[in-house]
Structure 1
Amino acid sequence: MFLNSAEILFGDLADKEIILSRIREIPVSTERRITDLAENVIIKQTIGLKHSQVFSVALDESTDLNDLSRLTIVARYYENNHIYEDLCCLLSLRDTTKAEDKLTAFISYFAKHDIDLSKLFCVTIDGAAVMVGKKKRFVKLLKNHINQKLLHFHCITHQESLCAKTSSLNLDSVMTTVVKIVNFLVSHSHLLTFKSLLQEIECEYGNLLLYRNVRWLSQGKVLTKFIGCLEAIKVFLNKNTIFS
C-alpha cells in the first residue's frame, strides 16, 4: 500500500527510484511500528477532543480512484495550552451521498469514540448544495441533532478555487501556451529526454504537471512547476525546433 502511494507521492522527483528502493528495504516490523504509531495518534486525538471544552470541524467530500465517495473530517481543538488541527478520519459513503447519509457517518464516528458532540460549535464545509440549506441539508440536520446553534463557514480553499475560475479568463492565452508546451514535453516521445535534462541541470523539479481543470488550484501548481523548470524548457525547445 505504502509503496503504491510512494509511486504517486514521489513521482515527480529526480531521485524517485532511490526513494522507492529505500522504501522496499523497510522491514515488515517497521511497517507494524508505523501502524502502531498511527493508532496512537488516533488515541491521543480522541483524548484531546474529550478533554477540550469545545472543538470545530471541517468537512469535505470527494471521490477516489475507485469512484467511492469519501467524507473527510478534520478537527480543531484546544488542549494543554496548544491548538491542534488534525485529520480525524476518511469515511466511506458506500450507498448514497445525501445529507442524511453524511450525517449518519459523521455521528457514528464521534459516537464510536465517545466524543460529546454538544462541544461542537463550528463547522466549515465546501458550500455544496447538499451541505447548506434551510431544511434537509447537512448543517441544518446537524443543528437539529445536537439541538444547538452552530457557526458555519464556506471553506477558503473552495472560495479560492471559485475565484480562480473567474479570474483565469484573463490568463487564457497564457494557460493555452503553457498547456501546449507541457503536453509536448511530457509526451512519451520526449518525456525521458526532458527528465534527463532536468536531472542534468539539477532542477528543483523532476518533471512537469499536466493541467487538470477539475482539481483545486491545479492551474497554480502547473504554473509554479513550469516557472521552476523554465530554463530547462527553453533549452529543450531550442533543441527541438519542430515545436510550434
Structure 2
Amino acid sequence: MISELPLSRNIIKDRIIRLNTNVQNQLKRDISNCKYFSISLDETTDVTSHAQLAIIGRYSDGLTMREELIKLVSVPTSTSGSEICKVVIQTFRDISIDISEVVSVTTDGAPNMVGKKVGFVKLFTEAIGHPIVPFHCIIHQEALCAKVRFTDLNDLMSVVTKIVNLIAARPLNNGLLMYNNVRSLSRGKVPERFVKCFEEIRVFFEGKDLGNFPQLNDDKWVNTLMFLTDLSVHINELNLKLQGFDKIIVVMFGYIKAFEITKYFEKASTAVHNEVESLHIKYQHVLGSLLDQFSDRFNQFRSLEQTIKIIKHPDVVVSSSLELNGFQWMQIDDLEIQLAEFQDSIWAQVFVDLRSKLENLERCRLENQEGCQYEQEIWSAWNRLPDTFSTLRNMVMALLTVFPSTYFCETLFSALNNIKTNKRNRLTDEVSSTCLGLKCTKYQPSIEDLANEIQQQKSH
C-alpha cells in the first residue's frame, strides 16, 4: 500500500496547501463568530532579504482563547507604517474578516508602528473607524530596562567575555572542571555561570599561560562581578516569567508590578552601604537607573492598571476607577449598572473561589509542575456568567484578547528560519506561509473532509 501512495513533489505541495486551507477555514469561522479579537504584529527579514510581516490573532472560539497565525505576508516595498497598514487591511479583506472588531494592537514599539502621524497604529485606527488600545510588547520593554545594568559595567563584562571565549575557543581547555557541566552560554546567563565556575577558572588560569587577568584576584572587581550576577539573576527570572503563549495582560503586568515592589532592591541598597564608597556609588547608580527605567516604561499598561483588575477582581473593583475611553465603541453604556448588580449578586462568590484556585495554580507554576491552566481558569469563570451581565462579560472578554507581548511572533520567526534556510531559499512566499501556518497552529486539519474532496485514484 505504501508503494502505491503518490509522493511526487507537486502532490506533496498540493496536500500541504490543502491542509493549511482547511486550518485557515476553521480559523476564519471562529474569528467571524467571535465578538472581538486583537492582533499582534512583528516583522523580520528572511534568508532572501525579503521583509516578512507576521499577523497574529487572539480570540475566543467559544470554548477557550486562541492565539493563531492569521497570515505571514511579504511586504513588497518598504516597511513604512502606511505600507504595513495597506498589507494588513488587504490581508483581512482577502480572508473576509471584519477588522472593525479589533480591540487592541500589540507591536515591538518601532517608529514605523507607533509613529504619531504615519505610524501603523495611527493609520489602522483611522481605517477601522474607532479607537483601539495600542501596546508596546512588555517583554521588549523589560529588555530595554534590563540594558541599564550593563551601562556602567561594560568593562567588567568585557573581561568576563574574553575569559569565556578564550576557554570555549580551545578544545584542550574543555577539561576545565565543572565547565562541562554548565549549559551553553547565553548573554543573559554569562555572569551567573561564570560565577558558578569562578574558583575553578581562577585556578585554571594560574596554571596556564593563556593570558594575564589580574582582575580575577582583585577583590573590588570580584565584588562588582557578584553584584552584577545577582542583579542579572533577578532580571532573568522576570524575563522567563514573561515568556510563553496564552498569557493574559493582568498576569503579565502583575509580574512587572511584583518586581518593582520586591524587597530585593531594599536589601541590595542596604547591602551596598557596607561596601567602600566608590563601589557604593556605582551600585546605587545602577539600581537607581534600573528602577527609573521601570518607572518610565509600561505607560500603556499603567494607564489601564485599574481597568484590567476587573478580570480577577470584579467583585471589589470601583467602577469610577475604570479607564474606558478605548472601549466606548463597544456599547458599554450599562457597564456600571451591571457591575453594581454583579457585586451584590451570588455570582461575586465565583471570583472569590477563582482567586483561591489561582493561588494554588501559581504555587504549582513556581514548583515547575505542568498542566497549570491559569488563564483557562479565568476564561472559564467569566464564561459561566449569565446573559444578565452580558456587557460586563463582553468587556472582560475583550480585555482577555489583548496581547501583552509579541512572544508568538518571535517564536514564529525562529520556525521560519528552520523552514526557509539557505538550502531552501527558493520557497515561495505562499509555500513558506503555508508550512509555517501548519507548524504553529493548534487546529487539527479535518482529514475526513479533505479525503472527501480528493478523487481516490492512483497516479499513473
Q: CA deviation at 1:176?
A: 1.7
How far is 1:173 from its partner?
4.1
> Is residue 162 from structure 1 mapped to residue 128 from structure 2 by the alignment?
no
Instruction: Measure, in 2, the Cα distance between the counterparts of 1:86 and 1:70.
Output: 17
- 1:179 partnered with 2:161: yes
**Aligned match of 1:141:** 123
Distance 1:123 1:57 in 2: 5
In the TM superposition, residue 88 of structure 1 has moved relative to its aligned partner by 2.5
State the AA in 2 paired with 1:162: L
Matched with 1:241 is 208
| Cα distance in structure 2, aligned partners of 1:43 and 1:242 | 65
Taking the aligned partners of 2:172 and 2:56, their CA distance within structure 1 comes to 39
Deviations 1:61-83 (A, max 9, x none): 23334332222222111112311
5+ residue gaps, structure 2, are 1-6, 212-460
Contact 1:197–1:232 (CA under 8 A) maintained in structure 2: no
Choose 50-59 or 133-142, whichever is displaced more.
133-142
Letter in 2 for 1:238: F
Shift of 1:204: 6.6
CA distance in 2, matches of 1:66, 1:197: 41
For residue 80 of structure 2, what is the aligned residue in structure 1?
98
Partner of 1:124 in structure 2? 106
Q: Name the residue aligned to 1:52.
A: 34
TM-score (norm 2): 0.37
Higher helix share: 2
Q: Which amino acid is the alignment partner of residue 122 of structure 1?
A: S
> 1:169-215 deviations in whole A, cap 9, x for unaligned?
2442442233213322443xx25974x989x96x473x444xxxxxx
Judged with a 3 Å threshold, the aligned counterparts in structure 2 of structure 1 residues 115 and 169 are, in CA distance, closer, same or farther, namely same
Q: Are 1:82 and 2:64 matched, yes or no?
A: yes
SS of structure 2 residue aligned to 1:152: strand
TM norm structure 1 = 0.66
User: Is the alpha carbon distance of 1:66 and 1:193 closer, same or farther for their aligned partners in structure 2, counting shifts above 3 Å?
Assistant: farther
Deviation at 1:144, TM superposition (A): 1.3
Between 96-105 and 161-170, report the one with greater CA deviation.
161-170
Q: Which has the larger radius of gyration?
A: 2
Equivalent residue for 2:93?
A: 111
Match of 1:223 in 2: 190
Q: 1:92 to 1:233 in 2, by over 3 A?
A: farther
Quickly say closer, same or farther: Cα 1:28–1:146, change in 2 above 3 A: same
Q: Aligned partner of 2:97: which letter?
A: I
Comparing both chains, which one has the higher relative contact order based on Cα–Cα distances under 8 Å and sequence gaps of 6 or more?
2
CA RMSD of aligned residues (A): 3.8
Which amino acid in 2 is paired with 1:76? R
- Structure 1 distance, partners of 2:71, 2:88, is 10
* Aligned partners of 1:68 and 1:92 also within 8 Å: yes
Percent identity over the alignment is 32
Q: Secondary structure at the match of 2:105?
A: strand
**Per-residue displacement from partner, 1:6-41 (whole Å, max 9, x unpaired)?**
xxxxxxxxxxxxxxxxxxxxx999x87777655544
2:255 maps to none
Q: Is the 8 A contact 2:37 2:59 kept in 1?
A: yes
Deviation at 1:228, TM superposition (A): 9.0
Structure richer in strand, relative to its length: 1
Contact 2:176–2:200 (CA<8 Å) still a contact in 1?
Answer: no
Determine if contact 1:132/1:139 at 8 Å carries over to the other structure: yes
Q: How far apart are 1:160 and its partner, in Å?
A: 1.5
- Preserved CA contact (<8 Å) 1:57 1:123: yes
Q: Runs in 1 of length 4+ with deviation above 3 angstroms?
A: 31-43, 191-194, 228-237
Higher deviation after alignment, 132-141 or 228-237: 228-237
Counterpart position of 1:215: none
Q: CA deviation at 1:46?
A: 2.5
Q: Distance in 1 between matches of 2:55 and 2:84?
A: 11
- 1:31-42 pair list within 5 angstroms: 38-42=20-24
Report if aligned partners of 1:68, 1:93 keep a CA contact under 8 Å in 2.
Answer: yes
Unaligned runs of at least 5 residues, structure 1: 1-26, 210-218
